[in-house]
Amino acid sequence: MKTTLRINPKYEALRAFVERIPSLFDHEGREIYRDRNVIKVMTAPDGTALNVKRYCVPKGPNRLVYSLGIRKPKGLRAFLYPQRLLPVGIDTPEPVAYIEERHTGLLGLSFFVSLQCDYEHTLKDVGNAEEGSYEALAKALGQFTASMHDRHVMHRDYSPGNVLYHVDTEGHYHFSLVDINRMHFGPVGERQGCLNFIRLWGPKRFFELLVRAYAEARGLDADACVAFALEKRRRFWIRYGKKHRILFKLEL
């Protein structure tokens, strides 16, 4: 087995610990997510809190696609993309390292290591929010997303768990993007931008306020954007609900 490590030069002092992450991962750290991939928070010897995502071995043709370099592995993209987001003012946890294991040239397990973000909320919190509690968030998120799209950046997995946020003492909202291995870099059109929201949870009114704030920030026809996005949202969740349990009170 061959193991390759890429490390952010800023965190060279953590190299010895990071090199051991593959062997430590199963029995150390605090697990915060488990599915096909697993996420843990691990603490480096100097006290730095690290977010470590272990990607499972790719299945079928994807393993060849990643192994042959036809497409960059997900963890590698997650390591590289912050270099495009952070310089233009789009927050995401700072990358620390990328580790991959290969067996006879084929990609095995891989790991993306970043600083742990201390933002206390995700957009899952809005799922069953009451009227009066989400208006400021909807406006701030719409404006943030508009600013991101105007910078020719779009998160292609804009789902509730992938947007973290914090409200400071002055009531200002701060957002940070995670799970950024699927990004679009280039112009974002009106329809493409509105479609970006349809997987988000929350009351129908939250969604309407969100899309309206987005459209107004980009100088688009707000009524047309809201009508278009609501219809696409309705279709998405009807399809989704046929195969999955919906974890919030859905209003169509």
Position 87 scores a pLDDT of 98
Residue 246 lies in a domain: no
Mean pLDDT of 13-40: 97
pLDDT band at 103; cut points 50, 70, 90? very high
pLDDT value of residue 236: 97
**Domain final position from 115, 146, 172:** 115
Whether 59 and 129 share a structural domain: no
Q: Tell me: do 111 and 135 sit in the same domain.
A: no
Q: Are residues 16 and 92 in the same domain?
A: yes
Q: Give per-residue pLDDT as tens, 35-55.
A: 999 999 999 999 999 999 999
Asked if residue 237 and residue 141 are part of one domain, the reply reads yes
**CATH label of the domain that carries residue 211:** 1.10.510
Number of structural domains (the chain) is 2
Residues 104 and 169 in one domain: no
Where b means 16+ CB within 10 Å and e means fewer, 127-139 reads bebeeeebeebbb
pLDDT tens for residues 153-190?
999 999 999 999 999 999 999 999 999 999 999 999 99
**What per-residue confidence (pLDDT) applies to 25?**
98
CB atoms within 10 A of CB 15: 13
Given 115, 150, 165, the domain boundary residue is 115
Same domain, 185 and 221: yes
User: Which parts of the chain fold into alpha helices (H)?
Assistant: 15-24, 61-67, 74-80, 82-85, 135-150, 190-195, 204-218, 222-241
With cut-offs at 50, 70 and 90, classify the pLDDT of residue 219: very high
| Per-residue pLDDT, 244 | 95
What integer pLDDT is reported at residue 8 of this predicted model? 99
Question: Are residues 167 and 60 located together in one domain of the fold?
Answer: no
Q: What distance in Å separates the CA atoms of residue 75 and residue 53, rounded to the nearest whole number?
A: 8
Q: What range does the domain containing 43 cover?
A: 2-115
Q: Determine the pLDDT at residue 122.
A: 97
Do both 154 and 179 map to the same domain?
Answer: yes
